[in-house]
A and B are shown apart, each in its own frame.
Chain A
Amino acid sequence: MTEVKNTEAIIEIGNLRKSFGNLEVLKDVSLKLFNGENLVVLGKSGSGKSVLIKCIVRLLSPNEGTIKVLGKDVKKLDRNDLAEIRQKIGFLFQSGALYDSMDVKQNLEFPLIRIRKKLTQKQRNEKIEEVLENVGLLDAINKMPSELSGGMRKRISLARTLIIDPMIMLYDEPTTGLDPVTSDEISLLINDVKKKYKTSSLIITHDIECARATADRLIMLHDGAVYKEGKIDEFEKSTDTLIKSFFK
C-alpha cells in the first residue's frame, strides 16, 4: 500500500464547480483531507454534499476544478487507474445501497470477488466473518437486505466497504434517518474504523451530534462554496447566525 506522510493531503480539491443544466450546485469548493484525520463536511440538505463526494470517485464529472486523490488527478485517469484508485476508497452511500436481490453474504462477497480476485473461498469467508464481527452483525449473514432495520443496513454497507481494506472512507450522511441511539452507535463505529483500518475519512453530514463525535476538523458548505473551516470548538463558539442555526 502507498506510504503517505502525515502532512500530505490524501484528497485535494481545488476550485470545484459542478452544475446540472441551469442549477449551479457547487460554485467554488476547495478542501484538503489530510492523512489519518476525520474531516466532517457540514451543509444543509440540497447543498451539494453528495454531489461533492460523488465527484471524488468520478461518479459525476465536475465542470471545472481539480480533484487529486493520493496525488493523482482523478479527471485524467484512464479506466484501469481509476479502478485502482476506487479500490482504495470505501464509499458508504446515503441509502446504504445494499443489493436487494442478494443476501448479506453475497453482498459482502460482491466487491471481494471483483477486486480481490486471488482469494480462495475459505479466505473470502474468513474476511466476511471478520468485517461482520467488526460491525457487530455476525448473525445477520444469511438475511436479505429487506429483513434488516435501517441501522443494520448501514452497518452491513459499512462492512461491505471495509471488506476491501480501504485507505480512504467517504461517508455520505451515515446517521441520517436513524434514531439517536443508533446514530451514536454508528458514530462510534466510524471512530473504530479510523483506529482499526487507519483510514482518512470524509464524513458528510448535517447531524451535529455525529459531527461532534467524529470530527477532527470541520468544513461548512453554504451556497456552493466553503463557508467556514476549523475545529469543532471554533464552530461551537461562533456568533455567526448561519453556523449558530446548526449548533443549537
Chain B
Amino acid sequence: MRRIKPVIKVIPVIRSATINLSEKTIDKTIKASSFLEEVANFILFILRTFKETFSRKFEFREFFRQCFQIGYKSLPLISITGAIMGLVLTIQSRPILVTFGAVTLLPSMVAISLIREIGPVITALICAGKIGSGIGAELGSMKVTEQIDAMEVSSTNPMRFLVVTRVLATTLMLPLLVLYADAWGILGSWIAINIKGDVSFVLFSSQAFGYLKFIDFLPAVVKTFFFGAVIGLVGSYKGYTAGRGTESVGIAANSAVVLASLLVIIVDMIAVQITDMLI
C-alpha cells in the first residue's frame, strides 16, 4: 500500500536545534506539528478518494451493497428519532406561541425549523454515530487483519473498492435519510398537536407547508450531501489509517464518531453563513 507521506517534518529539526528550547515548547511544537500532519494526511486522503472516484473502473456491486447497508438499515433508527424530534419540538414550542396568541403558526414553525435545521443536523449526528463508527470499525479491522493488503495483492485497488463506494453511498443516502426523517418529524408534530386539540392531517399539512418556500428547502438539501460526504470520508479515513494492533479498531471507530460529529457541526455553520449571505 502506498502510504500517505507526512508533509511536515518539524520534529527532527527541533531535536537537533542548537537553540535551547524548553521541554514545554518542544512538547507543544510536536503536538502542533502532529496535528498539522493529521490535517495534511486527511486532505491528501480526500484528494485521493476524489481522484479514484473518477477513474474508469467503478465497483457497482459493492456500491449498491453499501447503499443498502447504510441507507436501508438505518431506517428504523431514523424513523424513531425523526418522529420524536417533531413531537418534542411541537410540545416545547406550543407555550410560547400560546403566549403570543399565535398557536395557528405552530405547524409551520415546526415544519420550517425541522426542514431547515433540526432534521438535517440531528439526522447527520445520528448517522455520524451509527454509520461513521461502523465504517471506521469495519475498515479498521480489515486493516488490522491484513484484508486490505490481501485485496491489494489480488489486483484490486482498496481505495476504489472500499473507500470510494462507502463515501459515495453515504453522500447519496444521507439526503434521503434526512428527507425521510423530516417526514416522520412532521407526522410526530401532527400527533403532538392532536394531543391537545383536534386537527385533521389535511388542515395540519396545509398550515405546515403554507409558509414553506422552495428556498427553505434547497440549502437544507444541499448541505446534507456535504454531511454525508463528511461522515463517509472521516469514517473511511480513520479506518483506513488505523494502527496495527486490535485496540486501534476501537480507536478508529471512536475517533471517527468524534471527528465526524464535529465536522458536521462546522459544515453546518459554514452552510448557514453562506445561505444567509446569498438570500
A interface residues (Cβ-Cβ under 8 A, vs B)? 54, 57, 59, 83, 86-87, 89, 91, 93-101, 110-111, 114-115
Contacts and interface: CB of A to CB of B under 8 A. Distances in A.
Interface stretch (B121-129, B139-147, B173-181, B253-261): B139-147
A111 B156 CA distance: 8
Contacts of B147: 97-100
5 contacts: A59-B149, A59-B153, A91-B149, A97-B145, A114-B156
Interface of B: 1, 138, 141-142, 145-147, 149-156
B146 A97 contact: yes
A95 B154 contact: no
Contacts of B156: 110, 114
A59 B138 CA distance: 20
Contacts, number: 47
A93 B146 contact: yes
B141 A110 contact: no
Complex A-B, nearest 6 residue pairs according to Cβ-Cβ distance, in ascending order: A97-B150, A111-B154, A97-B146, A93-B146, A95-B145, A97-B147
A91 to B, nearest CB: 5
A100 B142 contact: yes
B109 to A, nearest CB: 45
B37 to A, nearest CB: 13
Contacts of A114: 154-156
For chain B, what secondary structure do more than half of its interface residues adopt (helix, strand, loop), or is it mixed? helix
B149 A87 contact: no
A75 to B, nearest CB: 13
B145 to A, nearest CB: 5
A83 B152 CA distance: 9
Among B141, B146, B152, the one with the most A-chain Cβ atoms within 10 Å of its Cβ is: B146
Nearest to A117: B155
A115 B138 CA distance: 25
Nearest to A94: B146
Contacts of B149: 54, 59, 91, 93, 97
Contacts of B150: 91, 93, 97, 99
Contacts of A115: 154-155
Nearest to A115: B155
A57 B153 contact: yes
Contacts of A54: 149
Nearest to B1: A59
A93 B152 CA distance: 12
A159 to B, nearest CB: 13
Given A59-B1, A100-B141, A95 B155 contact: no
Nearest to B145: A95
Nearest to A87: B155
Nearest to A107: B150
